[in-house]
Amino acid sequence: MATLYHAPLTCSLAACFAAAEGGVDLNIAPLNLATKQLASGGSLYDVNTLGQVSVLKLKDGSLLTETSTVIAWIQAQSTNADFRIDPSSADYFQMLRWLAFCATELHKGLFRVIFYQEATDEVKDRVRALAPLRFDVLENHLTGRDFLLGGRYSAADTYLTWFFVLSRYAQVDHATYPNIEAYRQRVLARPAIQALIESDTQLDQDLRQNLFAA
């Protein structure tokens, strides 16, 4: 079984969402991202020299990094026909498109700076000002769609779901986008998603990571 190195509420939570929705079993190795300490002992740096998640160790000992890649691997292992997308399907490349969008335009494009402690308030506000262009893309795309690929909750949605778990902490305003708001409420109401958010919030406290402590 593959092992996911997981810091609660961080982007590796998106990989947990994918595993839960796809019915893919993973070993979870919890860690405190602030200290880089693994709950089982040792350092995240011993696993990934960048000290970042998501990191997935496969059964053969090889590693996958980058959240979008980890999510794509997880969905490929799923036997859930409503979740797994075959590479021969046109939807497969749409899934990759939206995984990349979440990774570059939302995760690194917005969160990476907004949550960077050394960034000044002025810099963070200038990054927040980039959000409407990205939200316009999402708002237009979600017109007439329940999820990113239409009527099915896909691996790409797991990454976007995670964005909305953290967006309020980033103080980016998407309340004026009706399609986005309906989508946000829809995905956060999914039972597996709710359960993982609740358990991750507790894990954040148990590990004393306190990701969003004042």
CATH of domain 3-81+193-206: 3.40.30.10
pLDDT of residue 88: 94
Residue spans of the chain under pLDDT 70: 213-214
pTM here is 0.95
pLDDT of residue 214: 52
Total Cβ atoms within 10 A of residue 195: 11
pLDDT of residue 198: 95
User: Rounded distance, CA 95 to CA 85, Å?
Assistant: 8
pLDDT of residue 213: 65
If DSSP codes are grouped into helix, strand and coil, which group holds residue 37? strand
Q: Where are the alpha helices (DSSP H) in 102-172?
A: 112-114, 121-128, 131-141, 155-170
pLDDT of residue 211: 82
- Which DSSP helix (H) or strand (E) runs through 76? helix 67-77
Q: Single out the residue of 163, 202, 198, 203 nearest to residue 183, CA to CA.
A: 163
- Domain range 90-190, its CATH number among 3.30.420.80, 2.40.160.10, 3.40.50.2300, 1.20.1050.10: 1.20.1050.10
pLDDT of residue 117: 83
